[in-house]
Amino acid sequence: MAPQGSRAPLEFGGPLGAAALMLLLPATMFHLLLVARSGPARLLGPPPYLPEPEALWSPRALLLWLTWLGLQVALYLLPARKVAEGQELKDKSRLRYPINGFQALVVTALLVGLGVSAGLPLAALPEMLLPLAFMATLTAFIFSLLLYLKALILAPASALAPGGNSGNPIYDFFLGRELNPRICSFDFKYFCELRPGLIGWILINLALLLQEAELRGSPSLAMWLVNGFQLLYVGDALWHEEAVLTTMDITHDGFGFMLAFGDLAWVPFTYSLQAQFLLYHPQPLELPMASAICLINAVGYYIFRGANSQKNSFRKNPSDPKVAGLETISTATGRQLLVSGWWGMVRHPNYLGDLIMALAWSLPCGVSHLLPYFYLIYFTALLVHREARDEQQCLQKYGLAWHEYCRRVPYRIVPYIY
Ligand SMILES: NC(=O)C1=CN([C@@H]2O[C@H](COP(=O)(O)OP(=O)(O)OC[C@H]3O[C@@H](n4cnc5c(N)ncnc54)[C@H](OP(=O)(O)O)[C@@H]3O)[C@@H](O)[C@H]2O)C=CC1
Ligand SMILES: CC(C)CCC[C@@H](C)[C@H]1CC=C2C3=C(CC[C@@]21C)[C@@]1(C)CC[C@H](O)C[C@@H]1CC3
């Protein structure tokens, strides 16, 4: 058995919290899928019915799911325009990652376009969301179990994640023991974080748009907006793929059930909730309102992209003319912290932009139902919790300098409010 890594304080409510989340997250996802297509579309309250086992298990869905994963693996293995190095690991080495996510999105779009023009019934996909979500959940469970066993038997102490090695099997299974599980150069966590789920989300949205066109003659303005906004978000993530290498998911968290389920099932099947809702509950949207919503999304995107790009440019090269004039504080690690520009406004300006976009994605669905606002509610909770985890990690890294940053920039996400 591999030796234990250094012990970190337990997060997510410890083993009990982890066990509860492992039940609650899939249950919530299936609840949302069932409720979105029901007449009353009530977020709170029981689901309209409980699906029969045959509604969840379908060989067609299994085949489709495996084909999708296979296609994304093949696209990941294609030659990349760039190979980037990750952050330094405990053993002082750096892993290498292919930067070809945007290429995977474009090739997928071309293949889907060709398929649809050759008669591929993409509009039938919405009918298969339930069994597909079941396949994705099953895959996440089996996959995280295999990763847990691999880490237990094969991984050296230096390969373990700081958080997922408490010795409690439930907690470690949930958080993930190994930081960067790989087979040869194939990195499972990096692959899952950006490819099958994120691109799958866009494909599901597109299928919902096509089905709406079949049902009602043309897609609604609300459906166009939701599709356009979310395509921009995913395209942006894949275009700036290298930035994911510095996120806590890659540098700190192990690859366990939380990320496997989050990446493979939660993202595609719950982030597409607004488009699912619109297919079954068409909403009128006038041009002036649509323009106002576009403006909100543009403001959110401007803050989100501005903040992320400013930090990325600064971390890559602090003397880059774009960021060289910004005020900074020095830390004992030799790294600096920005205290002006976006990062002088609040301590997580990128989260603020992301939340404003989340609002813009729900508004096209009107205000008659709470359901399309689920993403905004969940995402606020996720980012508030994530911000607290990041602060904890920054305090450990930067000590007094972090206290000084918090004194100079007192608000976390929303200026003068939080
Ligand atoms: N849609 C979704 O479900 C999700 C979206 N996201 C989005 O992903 C993006 C990445 O988010 P996330 O990974 O949480 O982290 P961030 O991009 O916010 O990065 C946090 C890190 O930035 C560095 N940092 C913090 N303050 C400063 C400063 N003042 N100056 C310089 N560097 C600083 C620190 O790392 P260091 O000092 O080591 O560089 C810190 O750990 C965000 O835009 C977020 O909104 C995130 C989660 C889920
Ligand atoms: C299921 C749980 C509630 C938690 C799951 C969390 C995951 C869904 C998210 C953890 C970090 C993520 C990031 C993104 C998507 C969601 C997950 C995987 C992005 C790829 C979204 C686009 C941004 O531009 C970058 C994000 C990095 C972190």
Ligand 1 center from residue 199 Cα (angstroms)? 22
Q: What angle do CA 128, 134, 136 make, to 5 degrees?
A: 100
**Separation in Å, CA 154 to CA 20, 136, 257:** 28, 26, 19
Instruction: Please report how many Cα atoms fall inside a 13 Å half-sphere around the Cα of residue 304, on the Cβ side.
Output: 20
pLDDT of residue 359: 98
Instruction: Give the ligand whose atoms come closest to the C-alpha of residue 258.
Output: 2
Kindly state the tokens that stand for 23: 């039940």
Ligand 2 center from residue 263 Cα (angstroms)? 7
- The residue whose two tokens read 């192990």 is 254
377-386 pLDDT, tens digit per residue, is 999 999 999 9
- Measured from the CB, is residue 65 less than 6 Å from ligand 1? no
pLDDT in tens, the chain (418 residues): 334 445 678 889 899 999 999 999 999 999 999 999 998 899 998 888 888 888 899 999 999 999 999 999 999 999 998 999 998 888 888 999 999 999 999 999 999 999 999 999 998 999 999 999 999 999 999 999 999 999 989 888 888 988 878 889 999 999 999 999 999 999 999 999 999 999 999 999 999 999 999 999 999 999 999 999 999 999 999 999 999 998 989 998 999 999 999 999 999 999 999 999 999 999 999 999 999 999 999 999 999 999 999 999 999 899 999 999 999 999 999 999 999 999 999 999 999 999 999 999 999 999 999 999 999 999 999 999 999 999 999 999 999 999 999 999 999 999 999 9
Helix axes 221-239, 196-216, angle to 10 degrees: 160
Ligand 1 center from residue 278 Cα (angstroms)? 32
Q: Whose CA is closest to atom 5 on ligand 1?
A: 354
Instruction: Please report how many Cα atoms fall inside a 13 Å half-sphere around the Cα of residue 201, on the Cβ side.
Output: 30
Q: Whose CA is closest to atom 9 on ligand 1?
A: 350
The model's pTM is: 0.95
Ligand 2 center from residue 213 Cα (angstroms)? 30
- Closest ligand 1 atom to 343 CA: 29
Phi, psi of 330 (to 5 degrees): -85, 150
Which residues 6+ apart lie within 8 Å of 115 measured at CB?
122
- The residue whose two tokens read 């690859």 is 255
- Closest ligand 1 atom to 304 CA: 43
Task: Find the residues whose C-beta lies inside 6 A of ligand 2.
Answer: 25, 193-194, 237, 244, 247, 249, 258, 261-263, 266-267
Task: Give the CA radius of gyration of the chain.
Answer: 22
Phi, psi of 281 (to 5 degrees): -135, 75
- Measured from the CB, is residue 394 less than 6 Å from ligand 1? yes
Concatenating the DSSP letter of every residue in 353-413 gives HHHHHHHHHHGGG-SS-SGGGHHHHHHHHHHHHHHHHHHHHHHHHHTHHHHHHHHHS--SS
Instruction: Give the ligand whose atoms come closest to the C-alpha of residue 259.
Output: 2
Q: Smallest Cα–Cα separation from 274: which of 375, 388, 414?
A: 375
β-bridge partners, 338: 328
Q: What angle do CA 247, 253, 256 make, to 5 degrees?
A: 130
* Residues constituting the chain: 418
Q: Residue 290 belongs to what H/E stretch?
A: helix 287-316
| Cβ count within 10 A of residue 105 | 23
Instruction: Give the ligand whose atoms come closest to the C-alpha of residue 389.
Output: 1
- The residue whose two tokens read 């309102």 is 289
- Closest ligand 2 atom to 266 CA: 1
Q: Whose CA is closest to atom 19 on ligand 1?
A: 247
